[in-house]
Amino acid sequence: MSDSLKTLIGFINQYAPFNQMDDQDLGYLLENCVLSYFPSGTEILSPAHGKVEHFYILKQGEVRGERTALPQENANTTFVIGPGDCFPMAALVGERATRTTHITTQDTFCLVCAKSIFVELFTRSSAFRDFCLRGISSLLDVVNRQIQSQAQVALSDHFSLDTSLLTLSRRRPVMCSPDTAIREAVRRMHEQGVGSIVIAGEDAIPRGIFTLRDLRRIVADPRISLEGPIASVMANNPVGLPAGATAFEAALTMAKHHFAHILLLENNRCVGVISERDLFSLQRVNLVHIARTMANAPSVAALADMQDEVGRLAETLIAHGASADQINRLITLLNDYTTRQAIRLTLKTQHTSDIQFSWLSFGSAGRKEQTLLTDQDNGIVFVSGTDPDISRQRLMPLAKQINDALAQCGFALCPGNIMASNPQLCRSQPEWHQWFERFIDAATPQNLLNSCIYFDLRVQWGDTSLLEQTWLAISERLRQNTLFQRMLAETALQRRPPLGLFSHFVTQKSGGIKGIDLKKEGLSPFVDAARVLALAHGISETNTLSRLRGLEAAGVLESPDVNAWVEAYQFIQLLRLRWQLDALREKRSPSNLVAPELLNPLDQRILKEAFRQAQRLQRKLAWSYQL
C-alpha cells in the first residue's frame, strides 16, 4: 500500500467506525474517494438536492446541519460535526434526499465517495453497517425511509403525512358570533386575509363555518341580504378533527366529505382551521381534487381517464414517506369512489329502481388492501320479493354493465368470474345466508377456498345493513366452530413464505421470470393467518392490519409480535407497490413477481426478515390449532 494511502488511513483510523474496519476495506474506500474542498458557507447537501448520491467524511473543518420545520421558520441547528465525522448515513441507507441542510462553517475538506462505494462497504463490513444503522432503532425501521427511494420530487421530508395539524395551522382561527351580520363577517375575513370564518357561541364551541365559496353562492342569490345574520348562511356542524390528528387524516377526511376546510378541536373548542390549500401546498398531493372529480365524473370514459391519477398519487405518496397501509387505504378510497360513480352512472341508464340492492366487494377490496394491480371481486345482495330469480334476471344486465364499466376503468374482469354479473354472486339476503352456512357445514376444499375469498366482505355501495344480520349470525357460528377454524388454518398454512434452508430465497418460474410472488407467497401468509384468527375470535374487521391490531387488543397476540408482523407485512406490501409503479412507469404490465437479485442488498435482507416474520406467524397459527 502506498505511503499517501497509509497516511490517510492513519487519519480516518482515529475515528469510529473506521477504527473498527480493516485496512483492506479502508484502502478500498479511500482509493475511491475524491478529496474535495468546500469554503466556509458552502451548502454541501440540502433536501432540494434530491436523492443523495455521495458519502462524505470530514477530513478537516466544520459542518453545521440545519432543519427547517416550516418554510417561514428560522432554521434550527441540529448538529455541528468536525473531523472524522461522516454524513448523511440515514439518507444514504434510506436512498432518499437528506432532511438536513449541511453547510460548512469553516473552510472544509471532505473525502467524498459515490453511493455505490458506500453500498459496497455497507455489505462488506459489519462494523461499518452497524455504525450506519445505529440510531435507526431496528432494521425494519429503515424500511420506511428506504422505500421513499423512487422520490422523483425534490423532497423536503418535513412535509410528511404524519405532520400534526397543529403545526400546520399557523394562526388562531378567525371567529365571530352567530348574530354577526354577513357583511361584517366577510369584512373580518378580508382584513385577516383568510378564506374561512368559524361561527361560535359564547362557549367558543363552533356552530358553523363560512367560506369564500359560500360567499360566492349567497352573492349570486338575490334573496339574501348581506345585513342578515351569518348563522343563516353558514354551513352547520362543521367537520372537526382533534388537534393531534395528522395531515394524512385531514386529507382523508376532506376526500371523504368533499370539504375544503376542517376545524381543529381541543376540548370541543376550535383552535385552528386547516384548509385544503394548507395541506396541498404542502404535499402537492391533490387527493381531494381527484376524489371530487371522480365522484362527479359525467361519464365512464371520464372516470376511466382519472385512473392514471391514482398511480401518480401513489407514487407521490411513496415519495412522501407514506406507509403501505396509508397507500392501501387511499387507493381503496379512490377505488370506492370510482366504483360508486360507475354504479350511479349505470343506474341512470337502467330502470331497476324498484329493486333494493347493495354492491359487495370481496378479497383485497373487501379488506381495503387494494394496490394498483386490481381485478374485480364483487357481488350483489338484493332485497327480494317473492321470487328471487325474477329479481336476479332483472339485475343481471345492470350487473354486467357495471362490471364492464369497471373494466373500462382498469379493474380487470375477474378470470375466476367472481363478479356480480355471475348469477351465483347475485343473491338475495336469505340466499347469501344459506350459501355461507353451507361453507361451514360442508368443509370441502372448494368451500374452504371460498371462505377465504367471501369472508373478506364489505358493502362498497348501497345500504350497509343488508347483510348485517347474516354476517352476525355467520360470524357467531364461525367463532364456535373450532373444527372449521382448524381446517381454515390448515389451508392458510399451505402457502409458505419462500424461504429455504439457510434463509435463501426460493424462487419459482412464471412467465419466463424466476422470482418470488410477493402477493401469493409474501402477503398471503399474513392475510390468511390474520383471517383465521380474527374469525375465530369474533373480530369483525376485514383489513389484515386491523385484524392483527384487533387480535392484539383482544389479548390473543402479544404487542411486540404484532408490531413486527405489521412492519413485515407493510414492507412486503410497499415493495410490491413500488414494483408495480416501476412497471407502470416503464409501460410494462404490473406483476407481483419480483426477482430477488434485482433488489438491492438491503432490500433483500429486510425481505428475508419479513418472510421470517411470516414463518413465525404461521408457527403461532399452527401451534394454536396443534397442526
Partner 1 sequence: MGLFRTTLHWPPPAPETPLEKLTWCVIDTETSGLDTRRDRVLSLGAFDVSMAGIVLNRRFEAVLKIDIPLNEHNILIHRLTPQQLTLGRELRETYSRFLRHIRDKPLLAFHAAFDKAMLERELRINLNLTCRLPFSDVAFWLRALFPEQRQFRTLDDWMAHFRLEMPNRHQAAIDALCTAELALIALHQAQRQGLQTLKQLDETVRTSAALHALSH
- Alpha helices per DSSP H over 320-428: 324-349, 363-366, 388-408
For the window 89-108, what string marks contact with partner 1 as x by the rule CB under 8 A?
Answer: ------------------x-
Q: Which is nearer to partner 1, 3 or 227 (CB)?
A: 3
Query: Per rule CB under 8 A, is residue 7 in the interface with partner 1?
Result: yes
For the window 34-63, what string marks contact with partner 1 as x by the rule CB under 8 A?
Answer: xxxx-x--------------------x---
**Bond before 88 cis per omega within 30 degrees:** yes
Beta strands in 243-368 (DSSP E): 261-266, 269-275, 357-361
- Taking CB under 8 A as the criterion, which residues in 131-170 touch partner 1? none
**Alpha carbon 348 to chain centroid, angstroms:** 33
Q: Which is nearer to partner 1, 62 or 437 (CB)?
A: 62
Give the C-alpha separation, 448 to 440, whole Å: 8
Query: Per rule CB under 8 A, is residue 112 in the interface with partner 1?
Result: yes
Taking CB under 8 A as the criterion, the residue among 16, 25, 32, 608 binding partner 1 is 32
Residues 6 or more apart in contact with residue 97 via CB below 8 angstroms: 47, 48, 49, 50, 51, 52, 91, 151, 154, 155, 156, 157
**Region near partner 1 per CB under 8 A, out of 109-117, 301-309, 517-525, 575-583:** 109-117
∠ Cα 178 182 187 (to 5°):
110
Q: b/e map of 65-96 (b: 16 or more CB within 10 Å)?
A: bbbbeeeeeeeeeeeebebbbbbbbbbbbbbb
Cell 376542517 found at = 262
Minimum distance of partner 1 from residue 372's CB (angstroms) = 41
Q: Which is nearer to partner 1, 14 or 464 (CB)?
A: 14
Residue 394 · residue 352 · CB < 8 Å: yes
Taking CB under 8 A as the criterion, the residue among 22, 23, 31, 73 binding partner 1 is 31
- Taking CB under 8 A as the criterion, which residues in 215-254 touch partner 1? none
Residue 24 · residue 100 · CB < 8 Å: no
Taking CB under 8 A as the criterion, the residue among 30, 290, 304, 459 binding partner 1 is 30
Q: Which is nearer to partner 1, 40 or 299 (CB)?
A: 40
**Region near partner 1 per CB under 8 A, out of 29-37, 46-54, 210-218, 257-265:** 29-37
Taking CB under 8 A as the criterion, the residue among 12, 21, 33, 343 binding partner 1 is 33
Closest CA to 617 of 543, 527, 536: 527
Query: Per rule CB under 8 A, is residue 500 in the interface with partner 1?
Result: no
Query: Per rule CB under 8 A, is residue 2 in the interface with partner 1?
Result: yes
Q: Which is nearer to partner 1, 18 or 526 (CB)?
A: 18
Give the C-alpha separation, 584 to 135, whole Å: 35
Q: Which is nearer to partner 1, 6 or 477 (CB)?
A: 6
Minimum distance of partner 1 from residue 117's CB (angstroms) = 11
Minimum distance of partner 1 from residue 31's CB (angstroms) = 5
What DSSP designation does 466 have?
Answer: G
Cell 404542502 found at = 282
- Torsion angle of C-alpha atoms 430, 436, 437, 441, degrees rounded to 10: 150
Give the C-alpha separation, 450 to 418, whole Å: 10
Minimum distance of partner 1 from residue 206's CB (angstroms) = 57
Minimum distance of partner 1 from residue 52's CB (angstroms) = 17
Grid coordinates given for 363? 378479497
Q: Which is nearer to partner 1, 60 or 68 (CB)?
A: 60
Q: Which is nearer to partner 1, 4 or 353 (CB)?
A: 4
Query: Per rule CB under 8 A, is residue 26 in the interface with partner 1?
Result: no
Give the residues lining the site for partner 1 (CB under 8 A). Answer: 2-8, 10-11, 30-37, 39, 60, 107, 109, 111-112
